[in-house]
Structure 1
Amino acid sequence: MQISPPTHLAPFIRHYIFLENSEEDSKNVRLFTDGSTGLILSGDMNLHSNSSVERMPLSFFYGALHSYRDFYSKGSFSLMAVVFQPYFFNILLKISAKEIRNQIISAEDILQHQLHPFQERLFNKTDPLSVISSLNIFFTEFLSAEIGPDYHFIRGVQHYILQNRGSVSSKELEKFTGYSERHLERKFENYMGISPKKYSGITRLHYFLSLINKGIGDENMTSLSYDAGYADQSHLIRDFKMNTGLTPKQYVKTENKMAVNFIEL
């Protein structure tokens, strides 16, 4: 279930996703980059990182991913994902998004007990829409403080990249912003966690994903790669596999897409 935030939070929160798995079997799942940062909330999740034997925190923040990250779950679970606009991390936590790139941080380490009520409600199977309504109030209170002027600039650059579906050059960004490539990169990484070039590549990839998720057959893969701004299909496949760990055809054949960028392997 994917739910949009209210209008006043839309510039900061992309959407909420509620996922529930009632099966007891272990599952291998993959989260791959979409340029966003976010918060995972759960009251009963038994999630482990495939790169570590340690159990993941019940609730955690994740920074912008450079590619993908694999997890496995043990038994049933329910979770709420709050998918942020990338720059919201900088506003919410008052730290550079670059510092937490590819990182997972326990929510307890940052917000202490502030998220416990939400975890308890998820554990008690409270209606997800009610939990989301309370989260909207929680995040609105954070935004009552003054936001720095750079936020508007970064949001404008992000919108320009999205509007052009990721097909923008460094020169075009220099002309649009009036900043040198290096100066823009520093500002962008501080708020977004990744460079403008990387974010443009992710945007182009997800535009291609939006095309293939419309149910278009494999025979159109080449033409769709051109439509998405790739120079050729080999460039697409290389970029796709680097960011998702799969080829486009493997992604299409993946049956359980819990979200566009969160799939069961």
Structure 2
Amino acid sequence: MSFRFETVAPRESLGAVVKNFFVLEFHNDTPATDFLLPDGLPSFFYIEADKAMETFFADDTQSTPLQNGFYVGYCNTAMKFIHTEARIAGASMYPVFFNLIFGKSLMSILNQFQRWNEPAMLMPVSSLIAGDDHYKEIFGIFEDYMEQQLANHPFNSEFLQTYQTLTAPGGYRLKVEELAEQVGYSTRHLHTRFQQYFGMSPKQFIKLVKFNHALKYIYEKDEASSLASIAEVVGYHDQSHFIRDFKAICGKTPKEIASSPGSLANKFRLF
């Protein structure tokens, strides 16, 4: 399998909105298979492909084909894809801003890719991506559009602060009741607001952040690190419990992930 993957930092004004823009190109004469893991970051991208890229979420047997157009997606499980030749220009975004920019709730796109009909401002992207390395210009168009949308829609920073608290070191150790107390909500109201801003319950999102911390240690561990030590670092006293929770999220064990360091999953990471 051969692919080109590059990331580009957003302009300073969008640093809290976009983790990074990315370039992804596949060059395969025959179909190749890879997977992505849930990083808690919704994505927005334009794809140009001679043949549709087939995508499968979790254990789905029915694929979603991606070909020539804009898509939005978000997941809390693993995603498998089969591809040949394709060019993709996209953005990995922080979840609390997604609805403001694209007018879609994260719940409505959870574990799926949806076709997105772009406004006139983004239409030049389809011709630019066919050229040679027009990605900088494409990302500039993305940034202008995002800034326009944010200027036209008021933003409540309360849940940006909540997001930053949960994704900070050790933030995933907070219990839902503690988090509700911090923001001054009942647990029921917190659940409703999380569905609105994160597309899932507080408990699910905290587990996803914890999972991504574990991924960081799995991908970056040295020879002296063990699975037991990683489990302990991310708050598990029982290694078997850690493996069960890990597999429940992505369908793979930590050992299986560690044995595939060349996967594209290693590139799309929260931490």
Once the two structures are superposed, residues 105-146 of structure 1 have per-residue CA deviations (whole angstroms, 9 ceiling, x without a partner) of 1022xx255533213211223332332233222222222213
> Would the alpha carbon gap of residues 7 and 176 (structure 1) be closer, same or farther in structure 2, given more than 3 Å must change?
same
For residue 123 of structure 1, give the secondary structure of its aligned residue in structure 2: coil
Q: Which runs of 4+ in 1 moved over 4 A?
A: none
State how 1:124-163 maps to structure 2 within 5 Å: 124-148=131-155, 151-163=156-168
- Give the aligned partner of residue 256 of structure 1: 262
How many equivalent residue pairs?
258
Amino acid at match of 2:131: N
- Give the aligned partner of residue 122 of structure 1: 129
> Would the alpha carbon gap of residues 219 and 157 (structure 1) be closer, same or farther in structure 2, given more than 3 Å must change?
closer
For residue 129 of structure 2, give the secondary structure of its aligned residue in structure 1: helix
How far residue 193 of structure 1 moved from its aligned partner, in angstroms, is 0.6
Once the two structures are superposed, residues 161-193 of structure 1 have per-residue CA deviations (whole angstroms, 9 ceiling, x without a partner) of 112341110121122111111101101111111
How far residue 235 of structure 1 moved from its aligned partner, in angstroms, is 1.9
In structure 1, how many angstroms separate the alpha carbons of the residues matched to 2:267 and 2:241?
A: 20
- Give the aligned partner of residue 55 of structure 1: 65
For residue 217 of structure 2, give the secondary structure of its aligned residue in structure 1: helix
Contact 2:105/2:199 (CA < 8 Å) preserved in 1? yes
How far residue 261 of structure 1 moved from its aligned partner, in angstroms, is 6.3
> Would the alpha carbon gap of residues 146 and 39 (structure 1) be closer, same or farther in structure 2, given more than 3 Å must change?
closer
Q: Please, what TM-score do these two structures have when normalized by structure 2? A: 0.86
- Give the aligned partner of residue 87 of structure 1: 96
> Would the alpha carbon gap of residues 166 and 60 (structure 1) be closer, same or farther in structure 2, given more than 3 Å must change?
farther
Contact 1:49/1:55 (CA < 8 Å) preserved in 2? yes
Structure 2 unaligned segments of length 5 or more: list them: 1-5
- Give the aligned partner of residue 3 of structure 2: none
Contact 2:43/2:93 (CA < 8 Å) preserved in 1? yes
In structure 1, how many angstroms separate the alpha carbons of the residues matched to 2:98 and 2:31?
A: 31
In structure 1, how many angstroms separate the alpha carbons of the residues matched to 2:103 and 2:42?
A: 14
Amino acid at match of 1:77: A
How far residue 63 of structure 1 moved from its aligned partner, in angstroms, is 3.9
Contact 1:43/1:120 (CA < 8 Å) preserved in 2? no
| Among candidates 169, 173, 184, match of residue 175 of structure 2 | 169
For residue 61 of structure 1, give the secondary structure of its aligned residue in structure 2: strand
- Give the aligned partner of residue 69 of structure 1: 79
How far residue 95 of structure 1 moved from its aligned partner, in angstroms, is 3.6
| Among candidates 105, 108, 111, match of residue 114 of structure 2 | 105
How far residue 259 of structure 1 moved from its aligned partner, in angstroms, is 4.4
In structure 2, how many angstroms separate the alpha carbons of the residues matched to 1:60 and 1:240?
A: 31
Contact 1:19/1:258 (CA < 8 Å) preserved in 2? no
Once the two structures are superposed, residues 35-74 of structure 1 have per-residue CA deviations (whole angstroms, 9 ceiling, x without a partner) of 111112122363112433563243343343131222211x
| Among candidates 9, 18, 43, match of residue 4 of structure 1 | 9
Contact 1:63/1:193 (CA < 8 Å) preserved in 2? no
Contact 1:20/1:79 (CA < 8 Å) preserved in 2? yes
Answer yes or no: is 1:22 the counterpart of 2:27.
yes
% identical equivalent positions = 21
| Among candidates 186, 189, 194, match of residue 192 of structure 2 | 186
Q: Please, what TM-score do these two structures have when normalized by structure 1? A: 0.87
What is the RMSD of the two structures over their aligned residues, measured on CA atoms?
Answer: 2.3
Answer yes or no: is 1:230 the counterpart of 2:236.
yes
